[in-house]
Structure 1
Amino acid sequence: MQKELQDYLFSHIPISKAMGAEVIEASNETVAVKAPLSTNINHKSTAFGGSLQAIATLSCWSLLHINLRGMTNTGEIVITNSNIDYIKPVTADFTAYASLPDERRWQQFIRTFERRGKARIQLTAHIYQDDELALDYTGTFAAIAPE
């Protein structure tokens, strides 16, 4: 599943390739996307905030993509809102870890999507530096079935 997702991202979201994004884990429960500091560095020799946000967004978007791809009316996945807490500077290659919310919220999202053809869900991703939380990301994503 990792290679398939990696190929899809490079083909359909070209900035992922330019950022050096690498899918290192891809399952229905978790997606982890790694990026090198060297192509995402800022003037302070730390990871650029926009790169951190982009990789976190990409990990959450990918998690939703994996989980919805088997549905007949998958349609589009778009981000509608995001919030980031930059807790600690990132000074090395970094990985965003996204995971599904609790089962109740996930099932509510699926039921709404199946009934209305559109639904929203909040997903989270985290980036760690030296085993300490460096970035806490929350994004609201919408799935919209084709008309």
Structure 2
Amino acid sequence: MKTRWSFSPSWGLFNQGEITTPTTTPIRHFLMIKPVATLDDILHRGDWCAQLQQAWYEHIPLSEKMGVRIQQYTGQKFITTMPETGNQNPHHTLFAGSLFSLATLTGWGLIWLMLRERHLGGTIILADAHIRYSKPISGKPHAVADLGALSGDLDRLGARTKSTGADAGRNLWRRDAGCSV
């Protein structure tokens, strides 16, 4: 049966069939799905992510030497990564300084992106940082900063009052081993 509205294949939508739940209107409803290969494909505001990564490389040259890369930004979650090679200690596990730097850049980066999203200016300063290494990590690390773990009051910046700051929770882990720092 032909439908009145057809979706362009260029939109990447696939018709999964008619929804058969009871309806009170004569309008037919269809379930349309647009697949995403992996969550790694999501890069909300890729232009800002490119600016951020370039700023890191220009102003913090060590970040480029370490190979820090933005892997994903969804608007809610910010993930960075770096290669294992060049970031190892003599024990063939990841160097604690590299892990600390990756975690710091990730938390700082999420706050930078949030300020851009909210059209706010300001200087981001790391005032206090603590990290606990529960066990050695080997393999390619990822650092995750999630808005759900964020505390503080950035809205006060928009009101032109002094902000209490924000604390971006950082979580470092190796995907295949589930290690965290």
TM-score range, shorter chain: 0.7 to 0.9
Name whichever structure is richer in helix by fraction. Answer: 1
| Aligned-residue RMSD, C-alpha | 2.1
Work out the CA distance in 2 between the residues paired with 1:28 and 1:119. Answer: 22
Q: Which sits farther off after the overlay, 9-18 or 45-54?
A: 9-18
Alpha-carbon shift at residue 77 of structure 1 (Å) = 0.4
Larger of the two Rg values belongs to structure: 2
**Does structure 1 retain, via aligned residues, the 8 Å contact 2:154–2:166?**
no
**Does structure 2 retain, via aligned residues, the 8 Å contact 1:126–1:134?**
yes
**Does structure 1 retain, via aligned residues, the 8 Å contact 2:78–2:144?**
yes
The one-letter amino acid paired with 1:122 is D
Is the counterpart of residue 44 in structure 1 residue 76 in structure 2?
Answer: no
Report how many residues are paired. Answer: 132
Select 1:122's aligned residue among 167, 172, 177.
Answer: 167
Work out the CA distance in 1 between the residues paired with 2:178 and 2:149. Answer: 23
Relative to structure 1, is the Cα distance of residues 45 and 79 closer, same or farther in structure 2, using a 3 angstrom cutoff? same
Select 2:154's aligned residue among 110, 116, 119.
Answer: 110
SS state at 1:37 partner: coil
Structure 1 unaligned segments of length 5 or more: list them.
136-147
The one-letter amino acid paired with 1:125 is R
What corresponds to 1:92 in structure 2? 139
Work out the CA distance in 2 between the residues paired with 1:70 and 1:102. Answer: 18
Write the mapping of 1:1-147 to structure 2, written as runs, cut at 5 A: 1=46, 2-71=49-118, 73-101=120-148, 105=151, 109-115=153-159, 116-129=161-174, 130-135=176-181
Structure 2 unaligned segments of length 5 or more: list them.
1-45
Work out the CA distance in 2 between the residues paired with 1:4 and 1:111. Answer: 24
Work out the CA distance in 1 between the residues paired with 2:66 and 2:95. Answer: 11
Name whichever structure is richer in strand by fraction. Answer: 1
Alpha-carbon shift at residue 91 of structure 1 (Å) = 1.0
TM-score by length of 1: 0.78
Work out the CA distance in 2 between the residues paired with 1:102 and 1:125. Answer: 8
**Does structure 2 retain, via aligned residues, the 8 Å contact 1:46–1:90?**
yes
Work out the CA distance in 1 between the residues paired with 2:164 and 2:58. Answer: 26
4+ runs of 1 displaced by more than 6 Å?
none
- Alignment deviations for residues 11-39 of structure 1 (CA, whole Å, 9 cap, x no partner): 23222101110111123211111111111
Work out the CA distance in 2 between the residues paired with 1:46 and 1:102. Answer: 27
TM-score by length of 2: 0.65
Greater length-normalized contact order (CA 8 Å, ≥ 6 residues apart): 1
